[in-house]
Amino acid sequence: MDKIKSLLTMRFGKEIRTHSMIHHEELMTKLIKLAKVQSIVEIGTLHGVSAALFASLGLKVATFDIVASPLAEEIWKYLDVSSLIDYSICRDDEEKKEILSGRSFDVAFIDGDHHLDKARFDFDCVKRCGFVIFHDYKPHAPHFKPLADFIDSLTPQRYIFGEPGSQFAVWIAEDSNQRENLDLLEWLKAGA
């Protein structure tokens, strides 16, 4: 388990994991496998570690950031997943919105700027896919609380999974086909 985390740490050092969700590789792998999705949009690439995980699970990944990382392409090449990843560095949120409006995808992973206005903007850009994962659901951390409150206000009600202190939230629209995915719903309801 934690295959990508170990491989990348060996090659790039443990700093590569800083600020990355890769600490939760096992949980995220389980979620993606249960959801049986084929494509994902990610907001917040950083060094491409989470994008590498998604691609290693066979997903087509469209990943967006506003800052380019010199390491991202190197990491994807090292793991031989470059052909599955489409990397967009956007000038600003409007450009990101414009590019996203022309894409279709099965699930979205929001892990960019965690300030409420920015994360809400990102949610609005991707919610039409009906299946959205938020990283850093932290209702007890002052910096993250407004975002957690926003996630809590969504309908249908979100699911939370992961260890307290560093959790993910999942929103599934009423008309999403994931509502028929009983294995996924059961796993989420159990708090993963």
Ligand X SMILES: C[S@@+](CC[C@H](N)C(=O)[O-])C[C@H]1O[C@@H](n2cnc3c(N)ncnc32)[C@H](O)[C@@H]1O
Q: Is 184 in the site for ligand X (CB under 6 A)?
A: no
Site map 8..27 versus ligand X, x via CB under 6 A: -----------xxxx-----
Q: Is 49 in the site for ligand X (CB under 6 A)?
A: yes
Can you tell me the distance from the alpha carbon of 96 to that of 116, in angstroms, rounded to the nearest whole number? 17
Site map 51..70 versus ligand X, x via CB under 6 A: -------------xxxx---
- 26 contacts 192 by C-beta, under 8 angstroms: no
Closest separation in Å from C-beta 174 to ligand X = 27
Render 7-25 in DSSP notation, one character per residue: HHHHHH-GGGGTT-GGGGH
Of 42-50, 140-148, 168-176, 179-187, the window that binds ligand X (rule: CB under 6 A) is 42-50
**Three-class SS string for 147-162?**
HHHHHHHCCCCCEEEC
Longest Cα separation, the chain = 43
Can you tell me the distance from the alpha carbon of 94 to that of 91, in angstroms, rounded to the nearest whole number? 8
Name the residue nearer to ligand X (CB basis): 103 or 179: 103
Q: Which residues sit at the interface with ligand X, rule CB under 6 A?
A: 19-22, 43-46, 49-50, 64-67, 93, 96, 111-113, 118
